[in-house]
């Protein structure tokens, strides 16, 4: 099925490009422009981008088991210790941004 009318890209072509990108780096953040760049294309009207995002999510979820088998590398944020809760400063005042406190 044609997903991108402007570039005449099919579901299979987009899925294959996402799979190649994930094979290069399983924890890579992939957005539609990443996929199009890898295919030597670029978004024109970008009306297909919501469908491309859905395909990226679908392929990424499908490849999750193979990620674990590939060595189970932790996401960069985990490796950097960014996901662990930070302790409050000794003053007791939370100096993190409002957005960080909500997370």
Which residues are near ligand FES by CB under 6 A? 4-7, 43-48
Joined together, the tokens standing for residue 7 give 């570039």
User: The tokens 């469908």 sit on which residue?
Assistant: 51
Is the CB of 47 or the CB of 89 nearer to ligand FES? 47
Quote the CA–CA distance of 12 and 1 in Å, as a whole number.
8
Which one-letter DSSP state was computed for residue 74?
A: P
Give the nearest distance from C-beta 58 to ligand FES in angstroms: 17
Which one-letter DSSP state was computed for residue 43?
A: -
Is the CB of 26 or the CB of 36 nearer to ligand FES? 36
Give the nearest distance from C-beta 41 to ligand FES in angstroms: 8
């Amino acid at each position: 099925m044609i997903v991108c009318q402007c570039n005449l890209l099919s579901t299979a072509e987009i899925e294959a490009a996402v799979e190649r990108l994930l094979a290069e780096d399983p924890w890579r953040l992939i957005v539609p422009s990443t996929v199009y760049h890898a295919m030597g294309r670029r978004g024109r009207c970008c009306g297909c981008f919501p469908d491309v995002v859905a395909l990226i999510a679908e392929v990424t979820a499908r490849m999750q088991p193979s990620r674990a088998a590939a060595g189970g590398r932790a996401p960069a944020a985990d490796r950097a210790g960014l996901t662990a809760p930070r302790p409050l400063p000794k003053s007791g005042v939370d100096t993190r941004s409002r957005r960080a406190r909500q997370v």
